[in-house]
Amino acid sequence: MIPFEDIIKIQPKWLITIPKKARQGMGFEENGLARLKKERGRIYIEPVRTLPYPVRTYTKEELEEFIRFDEEQGRELRRLKIIT
């Protein structure tokens, strides 16, 4: 990646525009998401990739049930000497 430096203007309501040269090849998309991170007195902006499909979340109970099932299946497969 080619280093880039520029001076930008902070607009009303604290808006800034990321210059085209700075965002080229970085993965920023119009109306996309970006992560803003403050670290050691500096601000970093990076594109955020999202999954093109919905992701399901699981309850604690569902996770515990899955872990129990997985452990039971593992014991059974070891008993049958399918896995070691």
CATH number for position 19: 2.10.260
When divided into structural domains, the chain yields a total of 1
Report whether 48 contacts 35 (CB < 8 A): yes
pLDDT in tens, 1-17: 667 788 999 999 999 99
Residue 32 lies in a domain: yes
* Domain residue limits at 42: 12-48
Local confidence pLDDT in tens for the 84 residues of the chain: 667 788 999 999 999 998 888 888 888 888 889 999 999 999 999 999 888 888 899 999 999 999 999 999 999 999 999 998
Task: Round the CA-based radius of gyration of the chain to a whole number and report it.
Answer: 24
Residue 22 lies in a domain: yes
Residue 40 lies in a domain: yes
Distance, CA of 43 to CA of 18 (rounded, Å): 13
Distance, CA of 27 to CA of 7 (rounded, Å): 21
- Beta-strand (E) ranges in 1-84? 33-39, 42-48
Distance, CA of 22 to CA of 6 (rounded, Å): 8
pTM of the model: 0.50
Helix (H, G, I), strand (E, B) or coil at 6: coil
End-to-end CA distance of the chain: 47
